[in-house]
Amino acid sequence: MKTELLSADAPDAARRAVALLAAGELVGIPTETVYGLAADATDGAAVARIFEAKGRPRFNPLICHVPDLAMAATLAEIGPVAAMLAEAFWPGPLTMVLPLKEGSPVHPLATAGLATVAIRAPQGIAGRLAAALGRPLAAPSANPSGRVSPTNAGQVLRGLGGRLPLILDGGPCEVGVESTIVLPEADRLVLLRAGGVGRAELARATGLPVVDPAGDAAINAPGQLTSHYAPSGRVRLDATDVAPGEYLIAFGPAPVAGQDRAAAIVNLSPSGDLREAAAGLFAALAGFDAPEITAIAVAPIPQSGLGEAINDRLRRAAAPRG
Ligand code: TXA
Ligand code: MG
C-alpha cells in the first residue's frame, strides 16, 4: 500500500481523511500530544487494522477521540467529576476512563472488552475529523509496537509507511508526551498515566486529591488482566475435536471433528479472515460467558498477523483462574 503524506492544512485534507475513515481505513493524525493511528472506533474490522498495522499486536484498550463532551456522553457515563474535568481540560491532553454506557457504539475491540472506555477530546484537526465522521476515533500512538511515540509526521511515515493510506501532517506536536490518563471517582482522581496535564493542575481544577493506583495492576494495565477476557466456563484451546455439550468457537471453513455435538457454535470467520476474527473475538467470548456454559472449545487460530494477538487473548481467557 502506498502511504500519502498530506498537509493537514490542505483544503481537501479533512474530507479525504474522513472518507477513508468512513470506509474503515486507517489515517495517521496529528494531535497536540503525539501522532495517532486512527480508525472508526465503532467499526471492529477497522479497529483490528490498527493492531495489525502496529505489528506484534496485542489487543490493549485504545483511547477514543471525540470532538466534545456531547459525543463523549453518547459513549460513556459522565459523572459530575468527569464533567468538571472536561470543562477544565477539553479540548486538551487529558484522557478519562469512564463507565461504558449501555448501548455504547464503541466496538468491544477498542475497549478490549472492558466495561470502561478511555475518552479524550484532542485539540486541532483530530476532533474535527471525529465530528465530521460523526463517530469516535480509536487511536493509539502511531508507532510500531515497541517503538517510541511519534511527534512529527515524518516519524509516522518511517515507522508505519506502507501500512496505511494517509498521514495528515500537522507539524510537530505541541505537547510531545501522551495525554494524562485519570480515573475520576466521586471523591478522588486515580492517576493511571502521567502526561500532558500535571497532577497539580488536576487537583486545582477539581479540589480533589490525586492518588496513584497503589500497585493496583488491575487498574494500571487492564489489557494484561486475564479475568477481563475470561468467560466463566473452562476454555480449551487448539481443539481439534468437540466433546458432547461443549460450546465451540470455530475459525475458518474446515469443520472441527465432532462439531455436530457442540451445544452451540460461533465461527470467528468462516472464510478464515483474521481481521474479521479479531473484530468478533470479544463478542464471542462475552456471548459464551454464562453460568450454564461450563466448557468452551476453541479451534486452532493461525499465529500469523493478527492471529498472534487473538491467541494472546485466548491464552489469557484459558489461563487458570486465581
Ligand atoms: O496522547 C495520547 O493519549 C495518544 C494520542 C494519540 O491521543 N494516545 C495514546 O494511546 O497514547 P496509547 O494506545 O498508546 O495508550 C493508551 C493507554 C494505554 O496505556 C491503555 O492501557 C490505556 O490508555 N487505556 C485505554 N483504555 C483504558 C481503560 N478502559 N482503562 C484503563 N486504561 C485504559
Ligand atoms: Mg503508545
CATH number of the CATH domain containing 23: 3.90.870.10
Tell me the backbone φ, ψ of residue 180, rounded to 5 degrees. -70, 135
Residues 219 and 238 in one domain: no
Residues 246 and 260 in one domain: yes
Q: Which atom of ligand 1 is nearest to the CA of 62?
A: 25
Rounded CA separation 149/178 (Å) = 8
Which of 63, 197, 224 is the pocket-test mutation for ligand 1 (most atoms within 8 Å of CB)? 63
Strands 234-236 and 295-298: parallel
The rounded Å distance from CA 108 to ligand 2 centre is: 19
Residues 156 and 237 in one domain: no
Residues 91 and 117 in one domain: yes
The answer to whether residues 98 and 117 touch, using CB atoms and an 8 Å cutoff, is yes
Q: How many separate domains does the chain show?
A: 2
Cell, residue 263: 451445544
Which residue lies with its CA nearest to atom 6 of ligand 1?
36
The rounded Å distance from CA 120 to ligand 1 centre is: 10
Residue where a domain terminates, one of 209, 224, 239: 224
Cell, residue 201: 493542575
CA atoms lying within 13 Å on the CB side of residue 276: 11
**pLDDT for the residue numbered 10:** 97
Residues 303 and 162 in one domain: no
Residues 132 and 240 in one domain: no
Query: CA dist 299 to 36, 256, 273, 315, Å?
Result: 34, 7, 14, 13
Residues 194 and 233 in one domain: no
Cell, residue 162: 506502507
Residue where a domain terminates, one of 191, 224, 257: 224
Residues 285 and 178 in one domain: no
**What number of helices (H) and strands (E) belong to the chain?**
11, 15
141 is in an annotated binding site: yes
Q: Which residues line ligand 1 (CB under 6 A)?
A: 31, 33-34, 36, 60-63, 95, 97, 111, 114, 116-118, 122, 139-141, 178-179, 181, 192, 222-223
Q: Which residues pair with 198 in a beta bridge?
A: none
65 is in an annotated binding site: yes
**pLDDT for the residue numbered 228:** 53
Residues 199 and 248 in one domain: no
The answer to whether residues 17 and 153 touch, using CB atoms and an 8 Å cutoff, is no
The answer to whether residues 82 and 184 touch, using CB atoms and an 8 Å cutoff, is yes
Which residue lies with its CA nearest to atom 10 of ligand 1?
140
The rounded Å distance from CA 164 to ligand 2 centre is: 17
Closest-lying ligand to the alpha carbon of 149?
2
The rounded Å distance from CA 70 to ligand 2 centre is: 26
**pLDDT for the residue numbered 242:** 97
Tell me the pTM. 0.87
Which of 178, 180, 182, 185 is the pocket-test mutation for ligand 1 (most atoms within 8 Å of CB)? 178
Query: CA dist 278 to 166, 268, 295, 298, Å?
Result: 23, 8, 21, 14
Closest-lying ligand to the alpha carbon of 216?
1
Residues 237 and 195 in one domain: no
31 is in an annotated binding site: no
**pLDDT for the residue numbered 79:** 97
Residue where a domain terminates, one of 199, 224, 249: 224
pLDDT in tens, the chain (322 residues): 999 999 999 999 999 999 999 999 999 999 999 999 999 999 999 999 999 999 877 889 999 999 999 999 999 999 999 999 999 999 999 999 999 999 999 999 999 999 999 999 999 999 999 999 999 999 999 999 878 889 899 999 999 999 999 999 999 998 888 999 999 999 999 999 988 898 889 999 999 999 999 765 444 444 444 445 678 899 999 999 999 999 999 999 999 999 999 999 999 999 999 989 988 888 898 899 899 999 999 999 998 888 887 888 898 889 876 5
The residue segments making up the domain with residue 33 are 4-224
